[in-house]
Amino acid sequence: MPLAPKKVLIVEDEADIAQLVKLYLEKEGFHASIAQTGAEALALMKSGHPDLLILDLMLPEMDGLEVCKKVRNAPDTALLPIIMLTAKAEESDTIVGLELGADDYVAKPFSPKALIARVKALFRRLERTDDPKQLSFSFGPLVMELSRHEVTVKGKEVALTAKEFGLLEHLLRHPGRVLTRDVLLNAIWGYDYYGTTRTVDVHVRRLKMKIPLLDDAIISVKSLGYKLSDHASEK
Ligand code: CA
């Protein structure tokens, strides 16, 4: 049975650009739809379950950054891949976009071909990492074995509490992805947990104290949460 085509939602109020991107995506075998506003995008996400979002920064009413934040904070879409479209003049917005949880960005004006290449690259990158059945992870000299419930660094076991272990597992499962405090709290502590998102900060600090190589590797994402660096540094 052939795989179902990947669904891409284009969020862009400029009809010409949106149509052009849609055309190129469809030529490459993707299923593409268009939302003209952030509100429309959020509604379409609930009904259409896209596999990837192409999100323009400049939108009427709710801007792209706000949409991005909402997508990242909702458990259903927390890991939805996002490529943000920015204008060259908005370098600082680009950085903010990545800090708010976009996985990649393309500056306007762009060639549709280049954008499609980025879409494909992002899908490939995520296919490599997002496997729910994966039972062992490595990050530089750190190895986590779920079957043994064990974490080692250079072969030496590190004693972690259940929550620290769960937090580290979640980060290792999704390298390079921004995980909000709410999403981490729900995943590790559960929806009925009465603590605050500060709990996540405390546990991240403890993990960094116990495993120094994580100190630079777990990156704090302003006002949202954390992400594990794509690759371990050589120390
Ligand atoms: Ca726009």
Chain segment 111-126, per-residue pLDDT in tens: 999 999 999 999 998 8
- Single pTM value for the model: 0.83
Position 193 scores a pLDDT of 75
| Domain interval for residue 205 | 136-228
223 found inside a domain = yes
Position 7 scores a pLDDT of 97
**What is the secondary structure of 26-46 as a DSSP string?**
HHTT-EEEEESSHHHHHHHHH
Residue type at position 84: M
* Contact (Cβ atoms closer than 8 angstroms) between residue 115 and residue 26: no
> Between 93 and 124, where is the model more confident?
124
Chain segment 181-223, per-residue pLDDT in tens: 988 998 899 867 777 888 999 999 999 999 999 999 999 987 7
Chain segment 38-65, per-residue pLDDT in tens: 999 999 999 999 999 999 999 999 999 8
Q: How far is the CA of 8 from the centre of ligand 1 (A)?
A: 17
Q: Are residues 158 and 194 in the same domain?
A: yes
Q: Are residues 122 and 16 in the same domain?
A: yes
Share of the chain above pLDDT 70, in %: 91
Q: How far is the CA of 22 from the centre of ligand 1 (A)?
A: 15
Residue after which a domain boundary falls, among 127, 161, 176: 127
The alpha-carbon radius of gyration of the chain (Å, integer) is 19
Encode 166-181: b = buried (16+ Cβ within 10 Å), e = exposed: bbbbbbbbbbebbbbb
* Contact (Cβ atoms closer than 8 angstroms) between residue 97 and residue 68: yes
1 found inside a domain = no
**Environment of ion ligand 1 (residues, CB < 5 A):** 13-14, 56, 58
Q: How far is the CA of 56 from the centre of ligand 1 (A)?
A: 5
**Phi and psi dihedrals of 172, rounded to 5?**
-70, -30
In order of 66, 129, 155, the CA distances from 136 in angstroms are 35, 12, 14
